[in-house]
Amino acid sequence: MSGPGSLSAHMSTSKKKIKAAAFSRGIVRIPGLDILLGVDEVLYAPSGRQARGVDLVVGWGRKANTRKAVEYAARYSLPYVTLEDGFLRSVDPGVSGGRPLSIVLDPTGIYYDAGAPSGLEQLLNSGRLPEAYSSLPGSGQGPVPTLKSGKLLARARAAMDGILSAGLSKYNHGVSVELPKPSRSGAERVLVVDQTFGDMSVSLGLAGRESFLEMLGAALEENPEADIWVKTHPDVLAGKKKGYLDSTDIERIVSSFAESHGKSQGGQRRVNLLAENANPLHLISQVDRVYTVSSQMGFEALLAGRPVSCFGVPFYAGWGLTDDRVPLPRRKAKRSLEEIFAAAYILYPRYLDPCQGTRGEIEPVIGHLAEHRRIFQANRGEIYCFGTRLWKRNHIKAFLRSPGNRLKFKGSVQQARKEIGSGNNARLTALVTWGAKQLEPLRELSGETGVPLWRIEDGFLRSVGLGSDFTKPFSLVVDKKGIYYDPGQPSDLEDILCHAEFTADELGRAARLREMIVEFNISKYNFVVNGALRVARNKGQQVVLVPGQVEDDASIKAGCRDVSTNLGLLREVRKARQNGYIIYKEHPDVTGGNRKGRVSRNILLEFCDEVAENVSIGECLQVSDEVHTMTSLVGFEALLRSKRVFTYGIPFYAGWGLTEDRHILSRRNRVLTLDQLVAGSLIRYPRYLDWQTGEFSTPECAIHRLYSELGQDSGNRNIRKNPIKRKLNKLANLIGKR
């Protein structure tokens, strides 16, 4: 449906702000809609003088509530554009608040309405987007590639591979459901996809209730020896919505089939209902054929290489790839799977960059959704958490979330042992602990029950401010073998660094990450500092940085052998660098008064030349030639800045040929490049969370968020701020107001 106005006439007459009008509050509230539309503002039901500044009108799909929008566009001779979700929409469903990462703008129709040619249909017929798209706001400059473009089709193939390998769909909160073994050896499985009653893609796809009945009957007739699985929407069996195939219909059709073929009612057992929230592609991978009316699952089945029969007219039907029971003669072109994908997933929708919140492309969205699927799969089931302080629990919940999983915080191992012994833990998938307080009893419990033990800890790009001030972490690690700071046993990180084969893309990404960290001066903890470091060294004198640590920290207890205190480290460094200019930088947790490790200034100055105060660790690294440390992360940050690093303990970054080490760990027998170390430590190992969106993210996004947050409210980000103000900030962090 297109309005009587011309988009180009309304957009090109001036450089004023571009405004869109909508007559649904739900549309106006969509996060990022102005960016996706390419407008400056989306107005709700404008009137009077406000109406004179409107450039286009938008409505959602073919809903009845679009009538006002269409009439408004006609009254003021404004262009009308139909909106709809894209085919890779979000992590969570829109009804659950999931923000859309893609949207469709169609000035000519909408893809699921087969009653008239949509922009997508015209693109597939002609190979080009209709002219109306060129004047849409935010359409960009230059020609749009045709469907025969080799570059476009290569992108399509790569994107299809990414979607298949990650199991992505429109929504990505579904779990991987394993179907039971076939009822008979060698029996095929056939999937019949039901849809919710009133779905507009059904009625506008030239179908109705009879189409679903016909579809199930055809599936039985055409696959007489197969197991039939009817994919019913979970809301249908829960009584929230009605489907097209209810249990009575299914029983009647199956009974009719059995009678007409001279079979007993036992034949009904071949038809099974699946009402779980199953991941579509994982489900499709277990079947041999798919029957649908107009569901997107039909196209996903094509991606997975399954034959598809359509009993309505979805966007992917009529192009030579599907078995079409409802022909549509105006779809004349024959299209490859890559061409249909390129049209529907690359050229037709618009994407929102998951991190930056700007207009983006399909590839970052695929990566973003794939990361969620990976973490959701790892977090599924029931998880018992131990050793977690109250203020950390909301953080843990966010990092361990997965649709349908259950997270329980346990006070004691003995309590958990009793619950497990009672048999009420059929879904229990992991025991998780922060720190080492209950580590040995948990190892025993894990050995007794076979439930894996995971360890959780702060990541290497953590926060603005201290963790001990209750600030939100942008990254955590969940280690299923050990923990990165304990060299006494292998960890997931050590395993990655020992054995992983890193791709060229990962290594390029690692190099860019190093550059970002140095450019933005990002560390594990980040503060606003106002002081300056004045190094009074003699000509030719080496500047040596010694970072202090929290002396009762787990990394000191686990990773140090003969040097385990800040003063002891300084003594050793002065012996090794008698003529060096030594700078000592106290750990921020110690400076903030939260942790142990303070050494009086007078004693420090016996072994160092300067005590760095109110300066960032980045500035200290910038003026230093080398870093001497026990196990501090500052050693890793020094490597990122191409500094020489000497280790007196066994931190995670030691033993790979990049540092000069006092102690050797024989398990670490691989020589790594710096980018391999970064790829393993910052890309593969941690999990990142964007607290603005509540979604898992990337190290790049974490760096941007840290840098942005560091510049906001800077008076509260100084480690040496007023003690009362600092306590108030801790309280604000604790109750979630920061």
- Sequential DSSP letters for 248-311: HHHHHHHHHHHHHTT--GGGGGGEEEE-S-B-HHHHHTT-SEEEESS-THHHHHHHTT--EEES
Mean pLDDT is lowest, of 14-18, 49-53, 98-102, for 14-18
% of the chain residues with pLDDT over 90:
71
Residue 723 has pLDDT above 80, yes or no: no
Q: Looking at residues 490-502, what average pLDDT do you find?
A: 98
Residue 135 has pLDDT above 60, yes or no: yes
Domain boundaries defined on the chain? 1-169+334-351, 189-314, 379-499, 504-716
Q: Taking all residues of the chain, what is their mean pLDDT, rounded to a whole number?
A: 89
pLDDT (tens digit per residue) in 379-416: 999 999 998 888 899 999 999 999 889 999 998 899 88
Cα separation of 617 and 648, whole Å? 19
pLDDT (tens digit per residue) in 40-84: 999 999 988 777 889 999 999 998 889 999 999 999 999 999 999
Amino acid letter at 67? R
- Contact criterion met (CB below 8 Å) for 128 and 144: yes
Residue 587 has pLDDT above 80, yes or no: yes
User: Are 189-314 and 379-499 equal in CATH topology?
Assistant: yes
The domain over range 379-499 is classified in CATH as 3.40.50: yes
Q: What is the DSSP string of 335-395?
A: --HHHHHIIIIIISEEEE-TTT-SEE-HHHHHHHHHHHHHHHHHH-SEEEEES--GGGHHH
Q: Provide the token pair at 512.
A: 């860019």
pLDDT given for residue 3 in this prediction: 45
Mean pLDDT is lowest, of 37-41, 171-175, 488-492, 719-723, for 719-723
- Contact criterion met (CB below 8 Å) for 477 and 456: yes
pLDDT (tens digit per residue) in 544-586: 999 999 999 999 999 999 999 999 999 999 999 999 999 999 9
- Contact criterion met (CB below 8 Å) for 636 and 651: yes
Q: Which residue has 């105060």 as its token pair?
A: 613
Amino acid letter at 648? Y
- Judged by DSSP in three states, 154 sits in helix
pLDDT given for residue 716 in this prediction: 45
pLDDT given for residue 249 in this prediction: 86
Q: Looking at residues 458-481, what average pLDDT do you find?
A: 86
Exposure of 562 by Cβ count < 10 A (0-12 exposed, 13-18 middle, 19+ buried)?
exposed
Mean pLDDT is lowest, of 117-131, 250-264, 533-547, 696-710, for 250-264
pLDDT given for residue 376 in this prediction: 93
- Judged by DSSP in three states, 308 sits in strand
pLDDT given for residue 5 in this prediction: 52
pLDDT (tens digit per residue) in 157-173: 999 999 999 999 999 88
- Judged by DSSP in three states, 627 sits in strand
pLDDT (tens digit per residue) in 329-357: 999 999 999 999 999 999 999 999 999 99
Give bridge partners of residue 425 from the DSSP assignment. none
- CA 658 from chain centre, in angstroms, equals 32
- Contact criterion met (CB below 8 Å) for 446 and 430: no
- Contact criterion met (CB below 8 Å) for 648 and 664: no
Cα distance between the two ends of the chain? 46
| Residue 288: band (very low, low, confident or very high) from pLDDT cuts 50, 70, 90 | very high
pLDDT given for residue 539 in this prediction: 85
pLDDT (tens digit per residue) in 617-673: 989 999 999 999 999 999 999 999 999 999 999 999 999 999 999 999 999 999 999
Q: How far is CA 309 from CA 195, 289, 290, 291, 294, in A?
A: 15, 8, 6, 5, 10
Residue 243 has pLDDT above 70, yes or no: yes
Pairing relation of β-strands 463-464 and 428-434? Answer: unpaired
Please identify, in words, the CATH class of the domain defined by 189-314.
Answer: alpha beta
Q: Which CATH code of 2.60.40, 3.40.50, 1.10.3470, 1.10.357 fits the domain covering 504-716?
A: 3.40.50
pLDDT given for residue 481 in this prediction: 96
Sheet containing strand 644-647, edge to edge, reads 610-612, 581-585, 543-547, 626-629, 644-647, 660-661
Mean pLDDT is lowest, of 232-241, 368-377, 602-611, 647-656, for 232-241
> Which has more pLDDT, 737 or 652?
652
pLDDT given for residue 13 in this prediction: 45
| Residue 435: band (very low, low, confident or very high) from pLDDT cuts 50, 70, 90 | confident
Q: Provide the token pair at 612.
A: 């760095």
Residue 729 has pLDDT above 70, yes or no: no
- Contact criterion met (CB below 8 Å) for 137 and 8: no
| Residue 711: band (very low, low, confident or very high) from pLDDT cuts 50, 70, 90 | confident
Cα separation of 41 and 285, whole Å? 43
Locate all alpha helices (DSSP H) within 426-542, ordered by sequence. Answer: 439-449, 492-499, 504-520
Q: Looking at residues 722-736, what average pLDDT do you find?
A: 49
Q: What is the DSSP letter of 680?
A: I
Q: Any idea what the Cα angle at residue 267 is, between residues 266 and 273, rounded to 5°?
A: 100
Q: Looking at residues 503-530, what average pLDDT do you find?
A: 90
Q: Is the dihedral of CA 126, 131, 136, 141 positive or negative?
A: positive
